[in-house]
A and B are shown apart, each in its own frame.
Chain A
Amino acid sequence: AQKVTQAQTEISVVEKEDVTLDCVYETRDTTYYLFWYKQPPSGELVFLIRRNSFDEQNEISGRYSWNFQKSTSSFNFTITASQVVDSAVYFCALSEAWGNEKLTFGTGTRLTIIP
């Protein structure tokens, strides 16, 4: 069975600080996908990134970066120079590579950026 653990329930940082959100996953599949979604107060899940299990290269997109380490089954997300607009709940998710690609989500990390 697949499982995603986000141990940090809530994080608060002062604006412009860097913050890292942790994600640890479990799967028996050799091929899988990892995701991060952002959920602002409006409720809509906003897609941030998808990573294939074969691609362990770290990725940077503006202030966002992702560190995928297969050896520790982790897919951590860092926001650099945080802004108030980054305040939201962030979900890490896992899906199998084939089939119906159902997403298995973690319980989320509520990030609050203090101005």
Chain B
Amino acid sequence: ETGVTQSPTHLIKTRGQQVTLRCSSQSGHNTVSWYQQALGQGPQFIFQYYREEENGRGNFPPRFSGLQFPNYSSELNVNALELDDSALYLCASSSRTSGRADEQFFGPGTRLTVL
């Protein structure tokens, strides 16, 4: 069974640029959630995708957007990067069958540095 994978591992961008982060969900999982973890903080929920549609969003501006593909993999896009976007971005996958998804399993994260 393949776990959650994320790419790239590290990324350095400058202010104003755009970035795309990728996540492959664990085998058998159909739901993907994205979290932002600033240094020394707990992860903050960005949004969740289920059946290729956004299924809930945290307190993040519209320049944070996402996609989920038919194979359940997902992308997180951030436009107009700001210095405060520097963080570890974590992807989590889970399996939703009816009503509620099971516990979320996290990938290793992508560390984004904005200069």
The dominant DSSP class at the A interface is: loop
The bracket for how many chain B residues form the interface is 20 to 34
Tell me whether A100 and B48 are in contact (CB under 8 A): yes
Q: How far is the CB of B112 from chain A (nearest CB, A)?
A: 12
Residue-wise, chain A 40-54 has the 8 Å CB interface mask toward B (1 for contact) of 001111110010000
Tell me whether B105 and A102 are in contact (CB under 8 A): no
A64 an interface residue at 8 Å Cβ cutoff? no
Please provide the chain B residues from 81 to 115 with a CB less than 8 Å away from any CB of chain A in the complex.
Answer: 88, 90, 92, 94, 99-101, 103-109, 111
Most chain A CB within a 10 A radius of its CB, from B33, B42, B106 = B42
B56 an interface residue at 8 Å Cβ cutoff? yes
B72 an interface residue at 8 Å Cβ cutoff? no
- A-chain residues with CB within 8 Å of residue B99 when the two chains form the complex: 98
Tell me whether B109 and A35 are in contact (CB under 8 A): no
Q: How far is the CB of A58 from chain B (nearest CB, A)?
A: 19
Tell me whether B43 and A101 are in contact (CB under 8 A): no
Tell me whether A102 and B33 are in contact (CB under 8 A): yes
Tell me whether B101 and A101 are in contact (CB under 8 A): yes
Please provide the chain A residues from 14 to 49 with a CB less than 8 Å away from any CB of chain B in the complex.
Answer: 35, 37, 42-47
Please provide the chain B residues from 10 to 50 with a CB less than 8 Å away from any CB of chain A in the complex.
Answer: 33, 35, 40-45, 48, 50
User: Of A4, A50, A100, which is within 8 A of B55 by CB?
Assistant: A100
Tell me whether B108 and A101 are in contact (CB under 8 A): no
Q: How far is the CB of B58 from chain A (nearest CB, A)?
A: 7
- B-chain residues with CB within 8 Å of residue A102 when the two chains form the complex: 33, 45, 48, 56, 58
Residues of B within 8 A of A (CB): 33, 35, 40-45, 48, 50, 55-56, 58, 88, 90, 92, 94, 99-101, 103-109, 111
Starting from the known contacts A98-B100, A99-B56, 12 additional A-B residue pairs (CB-CB under 8 Å) come to A43-B111, A45-B92, A45-B106, A47-B105, A91-B42, A97-B100, A98-B99, A101-B100, A102-B33, A102-B45, A102-B48, A102-B56
